[in-house]
């Protein structure tokens, strides 16, 4: 795997390569998961594919995103949608060229609007840019899905004895209220879902799904 942050510039492959931009967040993930959960997911997602792809270069992760709805919880650091959009546009401008194209690998749902806007502007600027975000069954935030993913790659970071059932209202129903009120008004723990039944085995199965989703984007599916 070519890890851009640990590679000297003469050794960076550029011709015919795709730069993966792992995009995460620094925000609360309940009492049982670390605040860098989304960033860990984005990094591992990139690495899971790059290990087998010499045509892929993995950029250093962006650990800050749009997380305003989590601002009532300590540990959350957010730069907002507008700043994130501009940051992504400028990074893509610097990446293409020399790399032939870029893929934003987004680990945080709150970044969605910024990612879409940045891709649209970059495409309008004649740059080959795509984006991918998790398309997985399960709950929305710090629940069974994300907890299982972390148990599979970083079990030492998960405190299962602190996992509790959170708000289980489907995210599509809850989202307008979350954006208006903030998450803490609807979940005192910061959890949307039920992490208590999470497992490393389920996490490994979910990682295979994510890996294939990124491969499909790279291969144009």
**pLDDT higher than 90, residue 138:** no
Dihedral of the alpha carbons of 193, 195, 196, 202, in degrees to the nearest 10: 120
Write out the H or E segment, with its range, that includes residue 103. strand 101-106
Can you give the pLDDT at residue 102?
98
Contact residues for 89 (Cβ-Cβ < 8 A; gap 6+): 118, 121, 122
Distances from the Cα of 22 to the Cα of 41, 61, 108, angstroms: 9, 5, 10
Of the pLDDT bands very low, low, confident and very high (cuts 50, 70, 90), residue 184 is: very high
CATH of the domain at 199: 3.40.50.10310
Average pLDDT of span 27-49 = 98
Beta carbons within 10 angstroms of residue 5's beta carbon: 8
Q: What domain count does the chain have?
A: 1
**154 in Cβ contact with 43 (< 8 Å):** no
**65 in Cβ contact with 133 (< 8 Å):** no
Can you give the pLDDT at residue 155?
98
Q: What is the mean pLDDT of the chain?
A: 95
**pLDDT higher than 80, residue 221:** no
Can you give the pLDDT at residue 74?
96
**What's the domain range around 139?**
2-218
pLDDT per residue as tens digits for the range 72-100 = 999 999 999 999 999 999 999 999 999 99
Average pLDDT of span 181-204 = 95
pLDDT per residue as tens digits for the range 98-134 = 999 999 999 999 999 999 999 999 999 999 999 999 9
**131 in Cβ contact with 8 (< 8 Å):** no
Average pLDDT of span 63-72 = 95
Q: pTM, whole model, 2 decimals?
A: 0.95
């Amino acid at each position: 795997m070519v890890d851009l942050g640990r590679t000297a510039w003469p050794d960076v492959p550029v011709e015919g390569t795709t730069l993966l931009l792992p995009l995460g967040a620094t925000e609360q993930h309940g009492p049982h998961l670390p605040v860098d959960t989304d960033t860990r997911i984005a990094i591992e997602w990139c690495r899971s594919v790059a290990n087998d792809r010499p045509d892929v270069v993995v950029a250093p992760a962006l650990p800050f995103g749009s997380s305003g709805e989590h601002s009532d919880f300590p540990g959350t650091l957010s730069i907002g949608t507008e700043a994130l959009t501009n940051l992504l546009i400028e990074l893509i401008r610097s990446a293409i060229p020399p790399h032939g194209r870029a893929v934003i690998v987004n680990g945080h749902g709150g970044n969605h609007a910024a990612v879409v806007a940045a891709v649209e502007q970059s495409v309008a600027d004649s740059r080959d840019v795509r984006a991918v975000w998790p398309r997985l069954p399960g709950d929305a935030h710090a629940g069974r899905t994300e907890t299982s993913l972390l148990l599979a790659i970083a079990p030492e970071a998960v405190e299962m004895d602190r996992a509790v059932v959170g708000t289980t209202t489907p995210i599509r129903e809850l989202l307008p209220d979350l954006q208006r009120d903030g998450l803490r008004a609807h979940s005192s723990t910061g959890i949307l879902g039920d992490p208590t039944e999470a497992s490393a085995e389920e996490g490994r199965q979910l990682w295979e799904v994510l890996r294939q989703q990124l491969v499909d984007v790279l291969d144009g599916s």
